[in-house]
Amino acid sequence: MFKCEGFRRRRKAERPAEILDAAFAAFADRGYAATRLEDVAARAGVTKGTIYLYFPTKEKLFEDMVRSHSAGLLSEADAFLAGAEGTSADRLRTLLHFLYTRCVEDRCGREILRFMVAEGKLFPQLVAENYRDFVMPMLAMVNALVDQGVAAGQFRADLPRETVRIVIAPTFFLSVIRLIFGDAPPVDEEAYVEAHINMALAGLLAKPA
């Protein structure tokens, strides 16, 4: 009896996450407008009424889904960078490879970008949150790395203020290409990534005295 009760409690605790995962799949496949709560319920293996126990509206479900699938990316990047060794150029290369992996190769990263672009007018607060909680901290992370390189004499001291935005912008372009063309993009992704990183570093590195 106690084992059954424990199992039920465990299942109940896991249910919101399962519903959010089902919502991600449904919204990614059909878009916000075309997705019905019945679709999400079917994917999650629950009733529509069960969804309402945790998420009172479709809007709330979408918002919580985006937040839950965005959470952790920044801390992952921070931890990944903390473990990176070498010069500032080496560490920047490592961080950019991480961003390509999480924002381009990983479907979740790509779809979050799609949600922001496609549904942004319906959810302006969600877009603002994403910019505040992910984009700005990521820019700050890259900026700190560049500043360290400048202080160490590895990067140029006369870099324009918008340098960090230009450094990470190509990752978003490749994400868009993958969103449009799926798993058969008309781009050699490996060559694209290396070209981007090499060009970025060529512009950042201090010239030998």
Place of tokens 């372009």: 173
pLDDT at 6 over 80: no
The C-alpha atoms of residue 151 and residue 132 are separated, in whole angstroms, by 27
CATH number of 71-204: 1.10.357.10
CB burial of residue 96 (10 Å; 0-12, 13-18, 19+): buried
Nearest to residue 23, comparing CAs of 43, 46, 49? 43
Q: pLDDT digits over 63-109, tens only? A: 999 999 888 787 888 888 888 889 999 999 999 999 999 889 999 99
Domain 2-68 has CATH 1.10.10.60: yes
Q: What is the CA radius of gyration of the chain?
A: 21
Contact partners, residue 22, CB within 8 Å, separation at least 6: 40, 41, 43, 44
The C-alpha atoms of residue 1 and residue 67 are separated, in whole angstroms, by 37
Whole-angstrom distance between the N-terminal and C-terminal Cα of the chain?
77
Region of 69 (left: φ > 0; alpha: ψ -120 to 50; beta: rest) is alpha
Q: pLDDT digits over 192-202, tens only? A: 999 999 999 99
In the chain, what are the domain boundaries?
2-68, 71-204
Specify the pTM.
0.82
* 3-class SS of residue 155: strand
Bridge partners, residue 205, by sequence? 155
Percent of the chain with pLDDT over 90: 73
